[in-house]
Amino acid sequence: MAGLIDPDLLFPGDERTRAVARNLYTEVKGLPIVSPHGHTEPRWYALDEPFPDPAQLLIVPDHYVFRMLFSQGVRLEDLGVPTLDGSPVETDGRTIWRRFCENYHLFRGTPTRLWFDYTLSNLFGVDELPSAGNSDRLYDRIGECLARPDYRPRALYERFNIEVISTTDGALDPLAWHAKIRDSGWKGRVVPAYRPDAVVDPDFEGFSANLDRLGEITGADTGSWSGYLDAHRARRAYFKEFGATSSDHGHATADTANLAKAEAAALFDKVRSGKADASERRLFRAQMLTEMAKMSLDDGLVLQIHPGSFRNHAPAVMAKFGRDKGFDIPTRTDYVTALKPLLDAVGLERDLTVILFTLDETSYARELAPLAGVYPALKLGPAWWFHDSPEGMRRFREMTTETAGFYNTVGFNDDTRAFPSIPARHDIARRVDCAFLARLVAEHRLREDEAYELARELAYGLAKKAYKL
Amino acid sequence: MAGLIDPDLLFPGDERTRAVARNLYTEVKGLPIVSPHGHTEPRWYALDEPFPDPAQLLIVPDHYVFRMLFSQGVRLEDLGVPTLDGSPVETDGRTIWRRFCENYHLFRGTPTRLWFDYTLSNLFGVDELPSAGNSDRLYDRIGECLARPDYRPRALYERFNIEVISTTDGALDPLAWHAKIRDSGWKGRVVPAYRPDAVVDPDFEGFSANLDRLGEITGADTGSWSGYLDAHRARRAYFKEFGATSSDHGHATADTANLAKAEAAALFDKVRSGKADASERRLFRAQMLTEMAKMSLDDGLVLQIHPGSFRNHAPAVMAKFGRDKGFDIPTRTDYVTALKPLLDAVGLERDLTVILFTLDETSYARELAPLAGVYPALKLGPAWWFHDSPEGMRRFREMTTETAGFYNTVGFNDDTRAFPSIPARHDIARRVDCAFLARLVAEHRLREDEAYELARELAYGLAKKAYKL
Amino acid sequence: MAGLIDPDLLFPGDERTRAVARNLYTEVKGLPIVSPHGHTEPRWYALDEPFPDPAQLLIVPDHYVFRMLFSQGVRLEDLGVPTLDGSPVETDGRTIWRRFCENYHLFRGTPTRLWFDYTLSNLFGVDELPSAGNSDRLYDRIGECLARPDYRPRALYERFNIEVISTTDGALDPLAWHAKIRDSGWKGRVVPAYRPDAVVDPDFEGFSANLDRLGEITGADTGSWSGYLDAHRARRAYFKEFGATSSDHGHATADTANLAKAEAAALFDKVRSGKADASERRLFRAQMLTEMAKMSLDDGLVLQIHPGSFRNHAPAVMAKFGRDKGFDIPTRTDYVTALKPLLDAVGLERDLTVILFTLDETSYARELAPLAGVYPALKLGPAWWFHDSPEGMRRFREMTTETAGFYNTVGFNDDTRAFPSIPARHDIARRVDCAFLARLVAEHRLREDEAYELARELAYGLAKKAYKL
């Protein structure tokens, strides 16, 4: 590794533990990347065109980056974040990049800093911290790299040693890019995941039109409950044709419901007519998680639940810049009562996999580990989003392992749209897990040979198995 | 110690801190065991018969064990867990044991693993990790041990260096086994604890009949509020005759109430008639915690409150196998407002001891330590159940000590029905506390002589004192 | 430093990290103290009289001290805490001091212990732990010191190397002591902070009379909403004349509101008439936080929100001894929805500074860091009150840094009325921050030169900048 990343990055300070961590890491650092959940664009792999300029690639789309800069007074317009109404924003990549570099100190202690250090160092051969002084030089260097054939998406996929990567795709998505990838003969494995929020959440923009469209695509009658469910089945089957092994659900809460069929049908009618009130719309979302779980029992898709984000907290930012602009704030999330209807229905099934994520770390030891530590259908997703960080991942292991063990967890998700950072994210997760295992070994809670086996599982094996990849 | 347990188990990796931990531990590892709260069966000590086969002793009754195996797809029937309707389950101990051994890797990183390693190593002389390969050999070895006189309950009690152990006994229990122990002339000290859930919780199965029975046993009129309270007083006195020093209360929440006498009497009448609604039944439970605290002021029994478990979360498992089958899930628990009625009534009493437990670690620093750090009547019970683990115990100390100090805590509870694991549990608690104290010493926050004194208090003195044993 | 404080106090056990911590600390230990939030009395600096006897200075007013002693059965009367009705309490300082010394072991592991050790050692030259045996000797020694000119308030201010200190002052306070300090020619900088709880909280004792008084002082018509707001503006301007740069608000929750002007005026009328119900009174407090934020936009005062304390939890103690007697207990506190009205109004303002504090650590990673990591107006106050402790400060950094970074935090607040302990508190904060930074360096997450820069910011620079001091 180059200058910005020390070989001992993230390993504990004491020599006894560090030595174990170093040994464990040596065994796993070269394993292929399995990326079972993320947000890269299938278009990239399909077209295999050069990435845009450094700012458009690394700054403008990265909410971790622009939210921090915004919090310290940098305007989103000045970072090139596009406005909904098309009012002008900074378009000069070099200028945007400079604003980032001169504020690089703001990221000290954050995972963004580590991801950038790693990426600059390992992908672009940069060995100095970004600053106002070297901003232009770095911009040029990265730009030159991006213009080269070996920095195109497929080349990077291969260089990153990715074995398989999942995108996340709306239920209405025709998967045209996935088709193009499949038909291209390229041997990279890019699979979709079924994300039906737009046709499951009555509060989603254009919900009614979305259901009309769902009917058109599938030929099912999305004016009736049974037709609507058939449409989901059809889409899930379609996604599976392209290699999908999972669905993903981003509800505000973990609420589930398990209504009798007639009740569910009546609720659907009300929701479909647009007359459902807030509690009915909430109940519908809850019911749909259970319906999806039941479909999973039939078609084998792994069900992912990502609850607990208060989306678009600042209406002024939402109005000007739209969704996903850094104003998604975690909230307290209950699982014990919320999941009960789903668990009563299918929680004891041994052939079902429901992967739970949380933005509320208080649920790790109190709720999630005890639930995953007994229900065969449940597994714990890795530390997510704000908690996808060294301290966050450490807390995840410290607060879940003793009750759920390692084998009720599912390895790492990079969950990113920042393609160049994927190796950094997996590397950091591997290092943190090796450091955790090393502590168990150093404290004689685990034998070193067991730790080797676990390190491989956490880095590679569990993700493949849990996601059936 | 034998091969599975390193002498430095659970001591921190850095040499400076480890050396202090080692020294502290040397001072306390041999102290007698005071076990003020647990669930071993008095029958064992009374009859002093050999324990059953290894599986029936170590696997079938241990919810930590079978919940983990179940979570990974092993059926409870296949682990010999008895069904309520008597439908057949695995009865061959050797087969059950093998299922456990071949899945021993699932317990990596859990306290169950440590308890087993310790017990296998120190009690049965096993020095290899259980596996499919050695399952039969281990089964035979343990079986041979259990057949020997020096592995009978009283011999183990003595070998374990237990000074006193408390069982937990229903209010209606005649304490016949305790009587037999007392009359046997054996010098082991086994005391009961008064657990009146079945006659305090209107939702308990058979509540009304239980109250009838309570009246018969005590001669009190359990059809009236004052008679009902008298009956409790009589039973508490009876328990005290057998050495009881505490009562224990397993409510779903920490809610307390302090109604005027007439209100309480009217509430009792409604509850007794079976006409109380859910909120009245909840209020009755809340009121009874305060009544018990008031009785404690008179008779000196230490009051233990164990709130926050959502019991029997999976109805299908409850229907087939009954209570306590691993489906008890912690929930968010409030103490600040919930305990206020009780505290307003008796919280300032210096002769009362109310010991609080929690399954919600978020309450440690925010609620429990501040409450116990000012109310004379309150003390903090140790890290409980899912948190009775190295990380859990460490978090308990880190989050309570700075506000409540050490002297508002009460030492360790093993809280177990797994008799052979008792030395393991106390040993691990002692090690974790020594490691915590060692960190304070290494960071110069505490002097080494003070740490020695504290290590003894945490291992032995505080439990004796708090529980008046 | 003298005998009770090791030079390596609070530095991690492993040599690699400790060495870095030591180096960082060397750079910051001598920096001046900026104390932007606290509760020392301006009278002290104005009159510059000798402090009272050791017990009246160090024990009687310190709720950390007497709450711990009370929790272990020492009566408040016996510690000299004055009663509201004047019923007699211990007045002999030597006796009170002895009660403290003979119970010094109770404070093991608490920050109070560290603050005392530091103060005894560095201020009074004591190099032995207080005990029954040396109580009188220590009392005499401290008493002799306090009688000397170089232990008077201004001399200590200078010896402590305080650059500026803020007191906290009620809105109705004439700031006469501040005037006296200003007019004295002394070059110490003691500034007030605007704390309007008594004229903002309808539940405050004497609220109506307080508003009358507010009108008298300002000449504004506090019978009308606009006049009431004008009165606040006038008082804020008056406080600014004496150097105030901040306001402070101690509400029970973080609730905010942003009513239309007519609604707010109507609410004020109802509150002013004394006819507002509990929810209206709560709404008024919520509205006033937003009003204060809007005034801050005009006059530049930094807004501090200190929510989440259940005050005076024990009514019997409140009745006998009054407020602030150790019975303030943290409660669960929501920020994400509570702050939204205020944030919708002014959260995106780059010229506004709202500093958030919490007693609920679960909000650090889940709510506060994500909010402060994106809203330009928000900053995070340091670990507060029960969490102003080594473990508490460490958790604060571990749970906020990865999402909010360092630069959305504001350095340290000593928040104390215990003047002699101010150097101890700042020293401990500096040590804990250096230890945290050292870990990042040892784990190669930060370069050492960056850590030096950050150590200075955390110890000195950020507080000056955030509070405009």
Substitution target from B349, B402, B456, B465 for chain C, most C beta carbons within 10 A:
B402
CB A333 within 8 A of CB A253: yes
End-to-end CA distance of chain A, in Å?
Answer: 29
Pairwise CA distance, residues A379 & B370, whole Å: 35
Q: Which residues contact A469 (CB under 8 A, 6 or more apart)?
A: A34, A36, A163, A164, A166, A191, A245, A463
Which of B4, B108, B333 would best serve as a mutation to test chain A binding (most A beta carbons within 10 A)?
Answer: B108
User: Alpha-carbon distance B85 to B5, whole Å?
Assistant: 41
For the stretch A290-347, pLDDT in tens is 999 999 999 999 999 999 999 999 999 999 999 999 999 999 999 999 999 999 999 9
> Quick one: which of B265, B247, B259 has its CA closest to B345?
B259
Residues A172-208 have pLDDT tens digits of 999 999 999 999 999 999 999 999 999 999 999 999 9
Q: Is the pLDDT of residue B152 over 60?
A: yes
| Neighbouring chains to C with at least 3 Cβ pairs closer than 8 Å | A, B
CA distance C337 to chain A (A): 9
Same domain, C76 and C216: no
Whether the per-residue pLDDT at B1 is higher than 80: the answer is: no
Among C8, C107, C386, whose Cβ lies nearest the Cβ of B365?
C386
Residues of A in contact with B253 (CB under 8 A): none
Q: Do A106 and C405 touch (CB under 8 A)?
A: yes
ipTM above 0.90 for this complex? yes
Return the SS3 of C330.
strand
Q: Write the secondary structure of chain C as one string of H (helix), E (strand) and C (coil).
A: CCCCCCCCCCCCCCHHHHHHHHHHHHHHCCCCEEECCCCCCHHHHHHCCCCCCHHHHHCCCCHHHHHHHHHCCCCCHHHCCCCCCCCCCCCCHHHHHHHHHHCHHHHCCCHHHHHHHHHHHHHHCCCCCCCCCCHHHHHHHHHHHHHCHHHCHHHHHHHCCEEEEECCEECCCCCHHHHHHHHHCCCCCEECCEECHHHHCCCCCCHHHHHHHHHHHHCCCCCCHHHHHHHHHHHHHHHHHCCCCEEEECCCCCCCCCCCHHHHHHHHHHHHCCCCCHHHHHHHHHHHHHHHHHHHHHHCCEEEECCCEECCCCHHHHHHHCCCCCCCEECCCCCCCCCHHHHHHHCCCCCCCEEECCCCCHHHHHHHHHHHCCCCCEEECCCCHHHCCHHHHHHHHHHHHHHHCCCCECCCCCCCCCHHHHHHHHHHHHHHHHHHHHHHHHCCCCCHHHHHHHHHHHHHHHHHHHCCC
User: Are A445 and B114 a contacting pair at CB < 8 A?
Assistant: yes
Amino acid at B219: G
| Separation between Cα atoms, residue B465 and residue B374, nearest integer Å | 19
Q: Using one digit for the tens of pLDDT, what is the confidence trace for C407-419?
A: 999 999 999 999 9
B44 & B118 share domain: no
Question: Do C232 and C349 fall into the same domain?
Answer: yes
Residue C142 pLDDT more than 90?
yes
Model confidence at C2: pLDDT above 80: no
Is there a contact between A73 and C376 if contact means CB atoms under 8 Å apart? Answer: yes
Where do the H-state alpha helices sit in B242-277? 261-272
Q: Residues B35, B180: one domain?
A: yes
- Cα nearest neighbour of C443 on chain A: A10
Q: Of the residues B99, B117, B151, which one is the last residue of a structural domain?
A: B151
Distance CA A413, CA A469 (A): 13
- What range defines the domain where residue C399 resides? 15-49+160-466
Find the CB nearest B6 among A378, A403, A444. Answer: A444
Nearest residue of B to residue A444, measured between CA atoms: B9
- Distance, in Å, from the CA atom of C171 to the CA atom of C199, rounded to the nearest integer, reads 7
> How far A400 CA sits from the closest chain C CA (Å)?
17
Return d(Cα A382, Cα A401) in angstroms, integer.
12
Whether residue C342 is found in the same domain as residue C401: yes
Q: In whole angstroms, what is the distance from residue B125 CA to residue A288 CA?
A: 54
Chain C residue numbers touching B375 (CB-CB < 8 A): 71, 314
Q: What are the φ and ψ backbone dihedral angles of A376, each rounded to 5 degrees?
A: -60, -30
Pair of tokens at residue A125: 């051969």
Task: Say if C380 falls within a structural domain.
Answer: yes
Does residue B83 sit in the same domain as residue B143?
yes
CB count in 10 Å sphere of residue A465: 16
Q: pLDDT tier at C346 (50, 70, 90 boundaries)?
A: very high
Nearest Cα of chain A lies from the Cα of B419 at a distance, in angstroms, of 21
Residue position matching structure tokens 């419901």: A257
Asked if residue B334 and residue B205 are part of one domain, the reply reads yes
Q: Does the beta-carbon distance from C332 to B366 stay under 8 Å?
A: yes
What is the average per-residue pLDDT within C39-53? 97
B115 has pLDDT over 80: yes
- Token pair, residue A301, equals 């898709």
A143 and A82 in one domain? yes
pLDDT band at A426 (very low <50, low <70, confident <90, very high): very high
Give residue A3's pLDDT: 80
Question: To which residue do tokens 């390193």 refer?
Answer: B6
Residue found by looking up tokens 């299918």 in the block: A346
Using DSSP's 3-state secondary structure scheme, residue B377 falls into coil
Check if the beta carbon of residue B117 is closer than 8 Å to that of residue B425. no
Output DSSP code: residue A409: B
Residue finishing a domain among C84, C119, C151: C151
Is A6 a member of any domain? no
Residue B316 reports pLDDT greater than 70:
yes
Contact by Cβ (8 Å): A248, A37: yes
Give a yes or no: residue A339 inside a domain: yes
Task: Indicate which CATH number applies to the domain containing C411.
Answer: 3.20.20.140
Q: Chain A residue with minimal CA distance to C379?
A: A71
All residues of chain C having their beta carbon less than 8 Å from the beta carbon of residue B348 are 314, 316-317
CB atoms < 10 A from the CB of C421, how many?
23
Work out the minimum CA distance from B398 to partner chain C, whole angstroms: 7
CB-nearest to C336 from A111, A329, A391 is A329
Q: Answer yes or no: are the C-beta atoms of A275 and A315 closer than 8 Å.
A: no
Instruction: For residue B417, give how far its alpha carbon lies from the nearest alpha carbon of chain A (Å).
Output: 18
State the nearest Cα–Cα gap between B416 and chain A, in angstroms: 16
Whole-angstrom Cα Rg for chain C: 22
Shared-domain flag, residues B333 and B214 = yes
Burial classification of residue C21, based on how many CB atoms lie within 10 Å of its CB (0-12 exposed, 13-18 middle, 19 or more buried):
buried
**CA B299/CA B240 separation, integer angstroms:** 9
Chain A residues touching residue B110 (CB < 8 angstroms): 401-403, 405
Q: What is the CA radius of gyration of chain B?
A: 22
C109 with B16: Cβ contact below 8 A: no
Q: Of A184, A197, A244, which is closest to residue A44 (Cα–Cα)? A: A184
pLDDT surpassing 80 at residue C360: yes
Average pLDDT over residues B437-462: 98
B261: number of Cβ within 10 Å? 9
Asked which of A124, A151, A178 is the last residue of a domain, the reply is A151
Mean pLDDT of B344-371: 98
- Among C337, C406, C439, the residue with its CB nearest the CB of A108 is C406
Same domain? A61 vs A36: no
Q: Which residues of A touch C440 (CB under 8 A)?
A: 109
What residues contact residue C56 under an 8 Å CB cut-off, 6+ apart?
Answer: C80, C93
CB A26 within 8 A of CB A16: no
Would residue C2 count as lying in a domain?
no
Which of C107, C112, C81, C64 has the alpha carbon at shortest distance from C317?
Answer: C81
Provide the CATH number for the domain around residue C134.
1.10.2020.10
Number of domains in chain B: 2
Structural domain includes residue B432: yes
Mean pLDDT of chain A: 97
In a domain, A64, yes or no: yes
Residue A10 falls inside a structural domain: no
Chosen from A360, A366, A396 to mutate, greatest number of chain B CBs within 10 A:
A366
Considering only CB atoms, C374 lies closest to which of A114, A326, A392, namely A326
Q: Flag if C369 and A386 touch (Cβ within 8 Å).
A: yes
Residues A447, B129: C-beta atoms closer than 8 Å? yes
User: CB C174: neighbour CB atoms within 10 A?
Assistant: 11
- In this predicted structure, the answer to whether residue A1 has a pLDDT above a threshold of 90 is no
Judgement on whether residues B43 and B57 belong to the same structural domain of the protein? no
Provide the percentage of residues in chain B whose pLDDT is more than 70: 100
pLDDT confidence bin for A432, thresholds 50/70/90: very high
Does the pLDDT value for residue A2 go beyond 50? no
Reduce the DSSP state of residue C361 to 3 states and report it. coil
Task: Give dist(CA C255, CA C378) in Å, integer.
Answer: 15
B170's enclosing H/E stretch is strand B169-170
pLDDT of residue B197: 96
pLDDT for res B3: 80
Q: Do B331 and A366 lie within an 8 Å CB cutoff?
A: yes
Query: Is C403's CB within 8 Å of A110's CB?
Result: yes
Is residue C170 a contact partner of residue C198, using CB atoms and an 8 Å limit?
Answer: yes
Dihedral pair phi/psi, residue A310, rounded to 5°: -85, 105
Task: Kindly give the interhelix angle for B448-456 and B422-442, rounded to the nearest 10 degrees.
Answer: 160
Nearest CA in chain C to A64: C403
- What is the total residue count of chain A? 469
Residues B45 and B62 in one domain: no
Of C448, C464, C428, nearest in space to C29 by CA = C428
Whether residue B236 lies inside any domain: the answer is yes
